Structures are given as structure tokens and as C-alpha cells.
Amino acid sequence: MSEPAAALSVGQPRPAALLVLSDGSVFEGEALAALVAPDPVVATGEIVFNTCLSGYQEVLTDPSYAGQVIAFTYPHIGSYGVSPEDEQAGRPFCRGVVVRDLVERPSNWRSAETLEGYLVRHGIGGITGVDTRRLTRHIREKGAMGAAIGTAGEAELLAAARCEPGTDGVDLVAEVTTKEPYAIAPSSPSGLFVVAYDFGIKTTILHSLAQIASVEVVPATTPGREVLERRPDGIFLSNGPGDPSALGHLATELLSIIGEVPVFGICLGHQLLARALGARTYKLRFGHHGGNHPVKRLRSGTVEITSQNHGYAVAEGTVEAARLTHVNLNDGVVEGLSWGALRAFSVQYHPEAGPGPHDARYLFEEFRALMEAGR
């Protein structure tokens, strides 16, 4: 059995490592964090890339990355260490990390530990020294696919990458959702009460909701009737990982709450709301992962720069009676829907950001106004 991994001392030589993709592509680098061990170890997952220039800790702790290996396009990762205040969940749910250059000496007054020390503590492995520009171009051309990282041989890593099932048809929400309900106190008294379904909810979303209401977070499988028995002013459907088509049991349950009180969905919550109302979803070639996606708000014609993290999308025109509210200007993907008569709306992107721009935070105020109008 391997000895526990440990963060290497600054300047200490790193073991050679490989990143091997399921199509046979090989990228050389050096092991970091949990992959630094006396015996060969392997980390596998679906490889995706993220384009954020900062906020790597928020990215790593976003539960929507469950089942995936994250490649950062920004070359220097770890420069300001990590801080407990920046976590989006209690631990990272990603499978591995790929970087061009791991910064071993962080410089920031908020830093509590190095990025590598943090990854070691949570058992997450990775690889540094990779040509991430080449890797990103390859993923854009070939699409997201299985990947394996480790200090083992190329043949073993290729076999592991080809055995990686990816996210298609997998219920990853069960891995990240809370086991028990819990409450979040409001930042200021409003008299409003929101029940939030946790499909993989981020801390920054909870902070944003707490600015408009008191919040109770419930497990993803909570029956709709139990949620309505709490007499909420509104129901929130959170972000989360994976394939919405694998979550028919969750979408079906939403039918019992839609139309009863205002509903606001983000990311996976947007997809599940749409599927509950008859929409079709599909997998994007390489997904949207980053903090710089332009989205057009159709009502006003304004363009918002948005934070996004999803590999699936709602097929346009497959939801009857839905009004298209937002569109991605890069590829035309549906980014927002509204059902006026049902008092429900949703967006594919992340208005709370964390990390990312704050152009779309007005959506939480729209949710507040919808709830107040229904009291």
C-alpha cells in the first residue's frame, strides 16, 4: 500500500507523470499533491478546461465538477494560496487537476496554506508542467473525454482513461447533495422564506439568497409535497454536476411544486426545470467552463459577461410555452427561460459568480420581486 502523499518542499524534484486521454493522446508533466507517492497511482475522470484567470479555489470546490478532471488554461495556478473563506463546498469533488505551472510559494495575506497542501489534505492529485494550451485546443477539437493522470506507465494510464465512464447517464447529484436539511439565516430581515434544493449548491449562491430571504437547504430527493408543507415564498433549484437526463426522478418530483410558488433555477436547476416541463437536453462538445462567456439578455438587448460551468444544455424550441430570455453569443446555447403563468424562470449560467463577474446578480432581485408579488 502506498504511503500517504505529502506536499513536496519548495524546489524538491517531482516524479515524472503523464496525462493520457482516451483517444491515446499523451501529455508529459510532473506529479503534484496526492499523485506524489512511492507507488504508481492513477486519477481518472472526464477532462474539461476552465478559462478563469483567478478563483481557482472556488473552481476546485464547485460541486458541479464532480466526476471531472479540471485543466486550467491560465498558466500560473496557486499564486495566492487558499483560504477557508473562498470555498464553495466543504471539499473538492473534482477527480484531478492539470496546470501549466504550480506556484509553490503563495503570496497573499489571506492565504492559510498552499494549493498543493490543500489538495493533499483532500486526496486530490494532479499534474504540473503540462502544455495546457495544446491540451485545450485538443479538447476543443475532439471534445471532453476520459482521462487518466499518474506516475504509472502509458499503457496502464490509457487503459484507465478508456475505462472512465465520464458523466453521461450518471447520477452525480447523489454524491454531492446534503444528507440533512439545514438553515441559512438572512443577511437582513425580509420576511421571505426560500427552500433551496441542493443538487450541488455553491456557498456563494447561499450568500446571494441570504441577502433576500431566510433559506432552508434540503436534499435533492426531498419530495415536493414536503417542500410545500414548509410554506415557502419561493423555491430555488441549485447548480449541480452531470447529466440531467440521468435525473428523471428529480425532474418528475419538481412537477408537484411548479406553479404553486415562484421557482428560480440555476445551471442544473435550469435544466431540470426545463426537463420537468418537457424539454430535451443534450451534451455540449466541451462544455462552458469559465468566467468570460457573453450572454445577451433579449428583453433589453444588453450583453452580460457571465460565469459558467456546465457540460449539458437545453435544446432550443423543446419547451412549449417557455419564453427564451437569454442566449449565449459564442454558440447560441439557450441561457435563460421563463414561464410567466407558472411564475418560474431559470438561467444556465451563474449569476452569483464565485468566481466571475457580477453582471447578472439582478436575477436574485427579480426572484425577490416575484416572491413579494405572490404574498
CA 166 → CA 242, 245, 325, 333, distances in Å? 9, 14, 31, 22
Indicate which residues carry an active-site annotation: 267, 350, 352
